[in-house]
A = this chain, B = another copy of it.
Amino acid sequence: MSASQIGEELVALCKQGKNMDAIEKFYSPNIVSIEACAMPGMEQTQTGIDAIKGKNTWWVENHEVHDGEVSGPFPHGNRFAVLFKFEVTPKHTGKRMTIEEIGLYTVEEDKIVKEEFFYAAQ
């Protein structure tokens, strides 16, 4: 599968809120995930599919999502970008906010081997 095809499927799954299914289906066991900055109590870079599943579970459990929008993919060679917009309330602040971020995904041998997130610090 091309990066573009994987991007199409990943975006379709994320639009349905099935992010964990996308991870199961397309992520390499050795996935490297790099945030723009470290999230509370986590390293900025995490490696391995179990760590990434853990990060996603933490995020879902700690944010109330009011609205979400997923756009893309925007392909370029063996990479593609995805635009995410969320209206969320982090449970530890209780303050509703808009998150807009870009995910950049690198594909090797039909698997996503790296995800990098771009956003402005709040």
Contact = CB atoms under 8 A, between A and B. Distances in A.
A interface: dominant SS: strand
Interface string A62-97: 000000000101111101110100000000000000
Contacts of A38: none
Contacts of A76: 34, 36, 104, 116-119
Interface of A: 4, 34, 36, 71, 73-77, 79-81, 83, 100-102, 104, 116-121
18 contacts: A34-B76, A36-B75, A36-B77, A71-B100, A73-B120, A74-B102, A74-B120, A75-B118, A75-B119, A75-B120, A75-B121, A76-B118, A76-B119, A80-B118, A81-B104, A83-B83, A83-B102, A104-B104
